[in-house]
Amino acid sequence: TAASLRQAVKMDAIGQLTGGVAHDFNNILMVIMANLDALDEEADLDRATRNRIRRIGNATQRARDLTRQLLAFSRRQALQPVATDINELVHGTVGLLRRTLGEMIEVETVLGGGLWNADIDRAQLEASLVNLAINARDAMPDGGRLRVSTGNLSMPAGAERDGISAGDFVVVSVSDTGKGMAPNVLEKVFEPFFTTKEMGKGTGLGLSMVYGFLQQSKGHVRIESEVGRGTTVRLYLPRSSEAASTTVSPAANMERGTE
């Protein structure tokens, strides 16, 4: 549709711009961090100075997190799709999700039987799940439940729904029992830099990253949400015709640097 084309063009332009800036910015931040570390190791500093160093360090760390997200968002060529057992990947990511969500939020998985394999970049899929978990956590400040479920979907040609292309998909649904979104928020969530979170909390890049990743993977992402009830994000991953290759530790993938 015209809207999704506009979205894609906008994402490309922003992606190229931010990728270049983020890369240079990241290098600058590395210099700041290295010098801060050296400073912090000096023995004869008073407490006030140490506190200042710590505060600069924290701010620099936040800036690095942001540039990392920007890099992940703009780095659109580097996908490595491989035939993946999605149940295994979800199972392997649950620990990471639990740590992301904290104690107040229950994490439940409902893994579909006879699940097809999907052609997908595993590290990016995990990063997407973490992004969704962060959003779910922020939507459930008083606790709640996150449910990750998987299943097969065959979209017949000629009877497509919801803009999902014809074909076979492995669907990963991530539901929360959080505050949900009003329609005017929901229609903007995939726009880069759209956030309702306060300064320093959100970048507005999480869902744009997920959107770009799924689009590049020939999949789809759809969101259903109701204020006061919760949100369900569905990732439609293209079915693979191949057997799953051996899985590398999903959590180890997360540690893979951005540069």
Contact mark string toward ligand ADP, 212..241, x via CB under 6 A: -------------------x----------
Structure tokens at 109: 């998985």
Q: Residue 137: which residues within 8 A CB-CB, separation 6 or more?
A: 100, 101, 102, 105
Query: Which of 194, 215, 224, 226 lies at the binding interface for ligand ADP (CB under 6 A)?
Result: 194
Nearest residue to ligand ADP, using CB?
206
Q: Do strands 220-226 and 230-238 pair parallel, antiparallel, or not at all (unpaired)?
A: antiparallel
Question: Closer CB to ligand ADP, residue 10 or residue 197?
Answer: 197
The reply on whether position 139 binds ligand ADP by CB under 6 A is yes
Angstrom distance (rounded) from CA 203 to CA 70: 9
CB of 63 to ligand ADP, least distance (A): 15
x/- letters, 64..83, toward ligand ADP (CB under 6 A): --------------------
Answer for which of 97, 120, 148, 181 binds ligand ADP (CB under 6 A) is 181
Beta strand pairing call for 230-238 and 167-176: antiparallel
3-state secondary structure of 139: helix
Buried b (16+ CB within 10 A) or exposed e, 26-54: beebeeebeebeeeeeeeeeeeeeeeebe
136 binds ligand ADP, rule: CB under 6 A: yes
Smallest distance from ligand ADP to CB 67, Å? 14
Among 22, 2, 4, 1, CA closest to 190: 4
Enumerate residues 81-110 that contact ligand ADP by CB under 6 A. none
Q: What is the DSSP string of 9-51?
A: HHHHHHHHHHHHHHHHHHHHHHHHHHHHHHHHT-S---HHHHH
Chosen residue from 13, 17, 166, 185 binding ligand ADP by CB under 6 A: 185
Q: Which of 70, 90, 146, 207 binds ligand ADP (CB under 6 A)?
A: 207
Region of 36-44, 51-59, 93-101, 177-185 interacting with ligand ADP (CB under 6 A) = 177-185
Does position 14 interact with ligand ADP (CB under 6 A)? The reply is no
Nearer to ligand ADP, 89 or 174 (CB): 174
Burial 97-106 (b: 16+ CB within 10 A, else e): beebbeeebe
Tokens of 80: 């490595």
Where along the sequence are the contacts to ligand ADP (CB under 6 A)?
Answer: 131, 135-136, 139, 176, 178-181, 185, 189, 194-197, 202-208, 231
